[in-house]
A = this chain, B = another copy of it.
Amino acid sequence: MAATATRLDVLGIGNAIVDVLATAEDTFLAARNLPKGAMNLIDAGQADALYAAMGPGLECSGGSAANTIAGVASLGGRAGYVGKVRDDQLGAVFSHDIRALGVEFRTRPATAGAATARCLILVTPDAQRTMQTYLGACVGLTPADIDAEQVAAAEVTYLEGYLWDPPQAKEAFRKAVKIAHEHGRKIALTLSDPFCVDRHRGEFRDLVDNHADIVFANEHEIISLYQARDFDQALQQVRGGRRICALTRSAKGSVVVRGDEVHVIDAAPVDRVVDTTGAGDLYAAGFLHGLTQGEALPRCAEIGGIAAAEIISHVGARPQVALGELLRQRRKS
């Protein structure tokens, strides 16, 4: 079916989460066997126990795809979001924050059941973040939450791999993929986390090889996906496909692959890395914004790098300045 006019540049679907950020020493992680740098799922009891042991926190809307969508909106893009919160105080915080950026967010909050999801994020002195997520109300996301009109109206529908964790969200995910492709739209996917890839490797391989038009992964995730020896071997697996693969390598920048094209892009400079939470999410935001504005792939990666550099220069995974303005200033200088 031929593509008609779009209302949204990017529609994100993900776990709607409020982040609770606190600083912690490496010994705190070690004493609790928390795998540094990763995202781990915990239940309500574990969340309460960890929270009680943590230092004072700072609450801020989060969620991987939601951070990306906040970034797209901050860059000036037309953005929408689908995710499930509870009708509680933290759910109201999440809903406010995403709508305050002009994002179309219509998903009905749950009126019963588990509380709004929380991600307890421990930021160590090396600026690495270790995440423990209580999915809470996110487990209530079902195919009924996918609005066919909204997906059909979005140039790109962006899905996070974390959606494979709650029981019914993957069905919502599959429904969105089907609708998008029926309407000639694109599907973007982030692999989210190497442990998440481990949990769902078979299905993720199928998604990456057969369904996604744009794939985001960091080096650990892409190595895990193909059970490769190293990044170069994973890169060989990725080459030749029709889809775009944007592979992030932290301070080493990113590598973008489409068919036999390979672009290597440097990271944007950062004065001081404070908290790496949201780096990958904001890279995806910049990349997708560039793509939906018709930019060439190297420029998309460059915008991704600029957005990621802003986010790691402060605490929290949502931009503290209007990224569109930041981009304009960069162009002038």
Contact = CB atoms under 8 A, between A and B. Distances in A.
Contacts of A22: 100
A100 B54 contact: yes
Given A23-B320, A89-B89, A89-B115, A61 B70 contact: no
Contacts of A93: 57, 59
Interface in A84-127: 88-90, 93, 96-98, 100-101, 115
A9 to B, nearest CB: 19
B89 A58 contact: no
A30 interface: no
Interface string A46-90: 000001101111111100000000100000000000000000111
Contacts of A55: 100-101
Contacts of A54: 96, 100
A58 B23 contact: no
Interface in A278-333: 314-316, 318, 320
- Number of this chain's copies in the assembly equals 2
Contacts of A315: 314-315, 320
Contacts of A52: 96
A204 B226 CA distance: 71
Contacts of A97: 56-57
Nearest to A91: B89
B58 A59 contact: yes
A61 B21 CA distance: 13
Contacts of A314: 315
Nearest to A101: B56
A318 B57 CA distance: 10
A115 to B, nearest CB: 7
A59 B97 CA distance: 11
27 contacts: A22-B100, A23-B320, A51-B96, A52-B96, A54-B96, A54-B100, A55-B100, A55-B101, A56-B61, A56-B70, A56-B98, A56-B101, A56-B318, A57-B93, A57-B100, A58-B59, A58-B316, A59-B59, A59-B60, A59-B93, A88-B89, A89-B89, A89-B90, A89-B115, A314-B315, A315-B315, A315-B320
- Please provide the 5 A-B residue pairs with the shortest distance between their CB atoms, ordered closest to farther: A59-B59, A56-B97, A89-B89, A56-B100, A55-B100
Given A56-B100, A59-B60, A315-B315, 18 more contacts: A23-B320, A52-B96, A54-B96, A54-B100, A55-B100, A56-B61, A56-B70, A56-B96, A56-B97, A56-B101, A56-B318, A57-B93, A57-B97, A58-B60, A58-B316, A89-B89, A89-B115, A315-B320
